[in-house]
Amino acid sequence: MKKGFSIIVCCYNSTDVIENTLRSICHLQTDNRFEIELIIIDNCSTDGTSELSHNFLAQNMVGFNYKIVTEKRAGLSFARRRGIDEAGFEYLVFCDDDNRLSPDYALRAFELMESNNSIGAAGGFGNAVSVIRFPEWFEEFKKSYSVGAQADMSGDITSKEGYVWGAGMILRKYAVERLYENGFHSLLSDRKKEILSSGGDVEICYALRLSGYFIFYEPKLTFDHYIRPERLKWKHLRRLHRGFGMQKPLLEPYLEFYKSGSVSKRKSWKKESAILLKRLRGYGFRRLSDFGKNSEGDGEVLRIEKTIGRLKQLVKMKETYENNFETVRSAGWNNSMNTRQKI
Q: Which residues contact 276 (CB under 8 A, 6 or more apart)?
A: 307, 310, 311, 314
Report the pLDDT averaged over residues 112-130: 98
Give the lowest-confidence range in 34-48, 56-70, 189-203: 189-203
Structural domains of the chain, ranges and CATH numbers in brackets = 2-232 (3.90.550.10), 241-329 (no CATH)
- 3-state SS, residue 251: helix
Quick one: which of 169, 116, 162 has its CA closest to 343?
A: 116
Q: Where are the alpha helices (DSSP H) in the chain?
A: 18-26, 49-60, 76-86, 105-115, 138-141, 173-181, 200-210, 234-260, 269-282, 285-289, 299-316, 321-329
- Decide: 53 and 26 in contact? Cβ < 8 Å: no
pLDDT of residue 273: 95
pLDDT of residue 339: 40
Question: What tens digit of pLDDT does each residue of 300-314 get?
Answer: 999 999 999 999 999
pLDDT of residue 261: 63
pLDDT at 41 > cutoff 60: yes
Q: How many residues does the chain have?
A: 343
Q: Which residue has the higher pLDDT, 79 or 188?
A: 79
pLDDT of residue 264: 52
CA distances from 194 to 12, 236, 242, 303 (A): 9, 11, 14, 22
Question: What tens digit of pLDDT does each residue of 165-189 get?
Answer: 999 999 999 999 999 999 998 888 6
State if pTM tops 0.85: yes
Amino acid identity, residue 142? K
**Taking all residues of the chain, what is their mean pLDDT, rounded to a whole number?**
91
pLDDT of residue 198: 64
Question: What tens digit of pLDDT does each residue of 313-336 get?
Answer: 999 999 999 999 999 989 999 986
Question: Mind giving me the DSSP string for 188-216?
Answer: ----BTTB----HHHHHHHHHHHTT-EEE
pLDDT of residue 191: 53
- Decide: 30 and 36 in contact? Cβ < 8 Å: yes
pLDDT at 340 > cutoff 70: no
Q: Which residue has the higher pLDDT, 62 or 84?
A: 84
Q: Which residues contact 317 (CB under 8 A, 6 or more apart)?
A: 249, 250, 269, 324
pLDDT of residue 265: 58
pLDDT of residue 249: 95
Residues of the chain with pLDDT > 70, as a percent, come to 92
pLDDT of residue 43: 95
CA 146 to chain centre: 9
Question: What tens digit of pLDDT does each residue of 222-276 get?
Answer: 999 999 999 999 999 999 999 999 999 999 999 988 877 655 556 899 999 999 9
pLDDT of residue 51: 97
Question: What tens digit of pLDDT does each residue of 286-297 get?
Answer: 677 777 777 899
pLDDT of residue 59: 93
pLDDT of residue 292: 72
pLDDT at 120 > cutoff 90: yes
pLDDT of residue 341: 42
pLDDT at 16 > cutoff 90: yes
pLDDT at 342 > cutoff 60: no
Gap between the Cα atoms of 31 and 108, Å rounded: 11
pLDDT of residue 287: 75
Question: What tens digit of pLDDT does each residue of 129-150 get?
Answer: 999 999 999 999 999 999 999 9
